[in-house]
Each structure stands twice: as C-alpha cells, then as structure tokens.
Amino acid sequence: MTTPHINAAKDAFAPICLLPGDPLRAEFIANSFLTDAKQVTNVRNMLGFTGTYKGVPVSVMGSGMGIPSCSIYATELIRFYGVKQLVRVGSCGAVQPDINLHDIILAQGASTDSGVNRQRFSGLDFAAIADFGLLRKVAEQAEQTNLKVRVGNVFSADLFYQDDRSRLELLRKYGILGVEMEAAGLYGVAAEHGVAALTVLTVSDHIARGEAMSSSERQIGFRDMVQLTLDALI
C-alpha cells in the first residue's frame, strides 16, 4: 500500500507514532530507543521506522517543517495507517525570560498565525489543544522522575524568520512559552479525525536573548525529551 507520501505496508505503523520534524532525528530515535527498528517508508527521504519499546510497538517518522508538511503526514498516518496517538517531539525557540535552553515544554495549547484550523473549522476560531490523557501521562512521568517541564501555550508560526520584535513582546505578554511551527496544525488534524495528539518540545534557541544550542547539545537535550515521552506513553 502506498499513499502519495508514504510507501509503507498497510500494517507497517504502530498505533503510537512519534513525529520529529527532522527525518534524521526520526532515524536517531529509532536507532537509539527502539528495539528491532525497521525503516518502513522513505518517500522524499521523509524516513519512518517501526520497532518496539519495552515490548510495545512504536513508530517514529519525520514530519518536515511547518504545518502544511506535518498535516500531510499526520493525515495519511491516521487515515491510511491507523495511527491513533501522534506525539510531536520537536524543538522550539523560547519566549519567556525564565525559560532556558534545554528546558522541556509540553504544549497544552497552540496559538498560531496559520489559517489552517479556520479552514477546517468553517472560519471559526478553533482552540488547538493537546489530548489531556497524553498530556497528563507525560506531565506525571516528568514529576515522578524529577524532570522539570513547563506546560502551557506555544505559538506555531508559519515564518521561521520573523524579525518583528513587537510580536515577540506580544507573545511574551500573553504567556506563550515557545515558538515552533507545527503543533497547532497537528492538533487540528487530530481533532478532525478524533485521535489523540501531543507536542513535546526541547528549547533549542532563546529568541529574545539570541541564544542557540550547539548541534551536540541538541542531541543530548532531545534524548531527555524522547526518553521522557516514551517512558510516559509505554
């Protein structure tokens, strides 16, 4: 079976799928965390893998950057491959002064400048929120392992390069924790199909302070996020 963007066998994906933006991060997660991970799709080099974690089948697939790309993969995974729980494991730029590089954010909700949810919600404003069950599991796992996480609203931006400082100040004032590019779209796709989604983010940049992780720091930081997420869900 193939879809326009996934060339996996019909039963190739597990009901739980992690979605990093970067397909090479998907490969890293598969090789580092999953047992017997096998590559199941490679259309456009958007790699997807399925293996097990503590004996439970888990998939991981790149989603690309931005809501349109992520929405394509999320929709095909749900409609054609039966995925029921989609958990984005991504990076973000921090907005608030008390958030630092390496911090982990659970995106309880996602504000956005994208119009996609208005398109699917008849022009009305849809509150793009995480599945409470998934959110609670990851928050409780963090508490049990003494890993500090922040839970709240993030902003899913269409533009990565956005130099408007007044917008940054607006986001800070409204309590936005971090800026990324997919969560609001993922939550909209999940709501449309009646499945569960969550976004877990590692702070890779501080937008206000102009700080950024090195590539090796990114890998270690992402490791903590993935470990937390898998231990919470499985």
Indicate whether 20 belongs to the interface with ligand R1P (CB under 6 A): yes
As a whole number of angstroms, the distance between CA 106 and CA 131 comes to 11
Element (H, E) at 85: strand 85-94
* Partner that binds at residue 107, options ligand R1P, ligand URA, none, CB closer than 5 to 8 Å by kind: none
- For tokens 């702070």, what's the residue? 203
Residue 91 interacts with ligand URA (CB under 6 A)?
yes
Tell whether 165 is in a known binding site: no
Does residue 205 carry a catalytic annotation?
yes
Rule CB under 6 A: say whether 179 interacts with ligand URA: yes
| CB of residue 9 to ligand R1P, shortest distance in Å | 26
Which one among 48, 51, 90, 178 touches ligand R1P, defined by CB under 6 A? Answer: 90
Residue 58 contacts residue 16 (beta carbons within 8 Å):
yes
Smallest gap from Cβ 181 to ligand R1P, in A, equals 3
Calpha distance 197→57 (Å, rounded): 17
Q: How many CB atoms lie within 10 A of CB 131?
A: 18
- Stretch of 4-12, 18-26, 28-36, 141-149 lying at the interface with ligand R1P (CB under 6 A): 18-26
Q: Are strands 35-41 and 48-53 parallel, antiparallel or unpaired?
A: antiparallel
Amino acid at 157: A
CA-CA distance, 7 to 189, in Å (whole number)? 21
Task: Say if residue 59 carries a ligand binding annotation.
Answer: no
Q: Quick one: what does residue 20 bind among ligand R1P, ligand URA, none, with the CB cut-off 5 to 8 Å set by partner type? A: ligand R1P
Is residue 21 a contact point for ligand R1P (CB under 6 A)? yes
Q: For the window 38-67, what string marks contact with ligand R1P as x by the rule CB under 6 A? A: ---------------------------x--
Q: How many CA atoms lie within 13 A of 161 on its CB side?
A: 0
Residue 222 structure tokens: 């992402």
**Choosing from 22, 103, 131, 205, which is the catalytic residue?**
205
169 is in an annotated binding site: no
The residue among 202, 214, 233, 204 whose CA lies nearest residue 89 is 202
Single residue of 93, 109, 188, 221 touching ligand URA by CB under 6 A = 93
Q: Hey, how many other C-beta atoms are within 10 angstroms of the C-beta on 122?
A: 7
Please identify the residue of the shown chain whose CB is closest to the bound ligand URA: 93
Question: Is 199 one of the binding residues for ligand URA (CB under 6 A)?
Answer: no
In sequence order, what DSSP letters do the residues of 11-49 get, joined into one string?
A: T-S-SEEEE-SSHHHHHHHHHHH-EEEEEEE-GGG--EE
Binding positions for phosphate are 21, 25, 44, 88-91
- The catalytic residue positions are 205
Binding positions for a purine D-ribonucleoside are 5, 180-182, 204-205
Binding positions are 5, 21, 25, 44, 88-91, 180-182, 204-205
